[in-house]
Amino acid sequence: MPLRYDPEWRSQAGPTLLDQGEVLPVGDVATRRSRYDALFVQYVSEVPEDLELQVYKAPAPDGYEVEIFHLSHKETKAKLGAGDKTPAVLHVHGGGFISVRARNILGSIAPFVRESKVPFFSVDYRWAPENPFPTPVEDCWTALQYLHSNAEALGVDKSRIAVMGESAGGGLAAGLAVMARDRRLSPSLAKQILIYPMLDDRTVLDHSDGLAIFSINDVYTGWQAYLGDDYGTDRVSPVAAPARITTAEGLPELYLDVGQLDIFLGEDLAYATKFLSAGIQTEFHVYQGVIHAFQRWSPGSRIVKQAFRNRLGAICTL
């Protein structure tokens, strides 16, 4: 039987799904930025009244100031006593390595903060190709160092920090976890929560029979922008493309989910298998009949609600 969309999800996605169906030529960064911005703009909203937003600036080694958007639950924060500490999530947004601003995804992470009461710190890293590897992941490292250095003032338990990201942001979060292991971050990260992450620059095939929407051309464009002349060569490090790790030993426990019609299904499955083989606590979900970033087209569908519950569970167990 051929692959097909989940019927309920497809019916709710409606014609907006087709608006994203045009396959753009490889290397067209400008048009992709416009498309991705349009996809995220509809989710931009004011910070809900029960949440509080603070913005910090952390200096990177080259002098650039990395913005960090701290979203917290007001009531929970007010109840914290002196010396009380909470877990925290360092969040890295998607955008193919080339687009989207952290401020534009606050509406999509707010429900996780509201339901879990766990504060999020979302990193506004610099984009490729203007700022190729390692700048974006180093910006994430700068944010993580800021969170560690200011944990006491922020009421954060440094031993209960997770990294979380979607798509290219999931790849950056995974790369950050590899970097933290190799740089001997102490205490180490507690968990990585990867949502349909972009992990492997060697992916060249679309297994979805053209249903994926996020096309192989988009994959090529993102990796080329991020890696430049190293793209696809043996010079690519596991920090840049985490699928290249030889072992998951020493990495934090893993939560990973992906749609069956996502181009990243194969690389995500292979990545999770490395964690299982290493005996690391692992939770892996494949959602039948849905594509990359599937929650953005049909938020009211059963499958999207299930994915939210699973992701929320990963956060609440920090």
SS (H, E, C) 134-165: CHHHHHHHHHHHHHHHCHHHHCEEEEEEEEEE
Other CB atoms within 10 A of residue 189 CB: 22
Residue closest to 9 by CA, chosen among 304, 215, 313:
304
Q: Looking at residue 83, what is its pLDDT?
A: 80
What pTM was estimated for this model as a whole?
0.97
Residue closest to 177 by CA, chosen among 159, 165, 161, 189:
189
Q: Looking at residue 166, what is its pLDDT?
A: 98
Q: Looking at residue 98, what is its pLDDT?
A: 97
Per the CB < 8 A criterion, the answer to whether 215 and 205 are in contact is no
Residues 67, 98, 59, CA angle at the centre, nearest 5°?
25
Between strands 191-195 and 156-166, the pairing is: parallel
Q: Looking at residue 42, what is its pLDDT?
A: 53
Q: Looking at residue 213, what is its pLDDT?
A: 87
- Domain 7-316 CATH superfamily: Alpha/Beta hydrolase fold, catalytic domain (3.40.50.1820)
Q: Looking at residue 84, what is its pLDDT?
A: 87
Q: Looking at residue 41, what is its pLDDT?
A: 61
Per the CB < 8 A criterion, the answer to whether 56 and 146 are in contact is yes
Q: Looking at residue 112, what is its pLDDT?
A: 98
Residue closest to 194 by CA, chosen among 132, 272, 249, 309:
272
Helices 302-316 and 106-116: crossing angle, nearest 10°? 60
pLDDT in tens, the chain (318 residues): 789 999 999 999 988 787 777 889 999 999 999 988 777 665 556 788 999 999 999 999 999 999 999 999 999 888 887 788 999 999 999 999 999 999 999 999 999 999 999 999 999 999 999 999 999 999 999 999 999 999 999 999 999 999 999 999 999 999 999 999 999 999 999 999 999 999 999 999 999 988 998 899 999 999 999 999 999 999 999 999 999 999 999 999 999 999 999 999 999 999 999 999 999 999 999 999 999 999 988 999 999 999 999 999 999 999
Distant-in-sequence, close-in-space partners of 114: CB < 8 Å, separation ≥ 6: 48, 50, 51, 73
> What one-character DSSP code corresponds to residue 257?
E
Dist. CA 222–CA 144, nearest whole Å: 24
Q: Looking at residue 43, what is its pLDDT?
A: 56
The torsion of the CA quartet 179, 183, 184, 188, rounded to 10 degrees, works out to -30
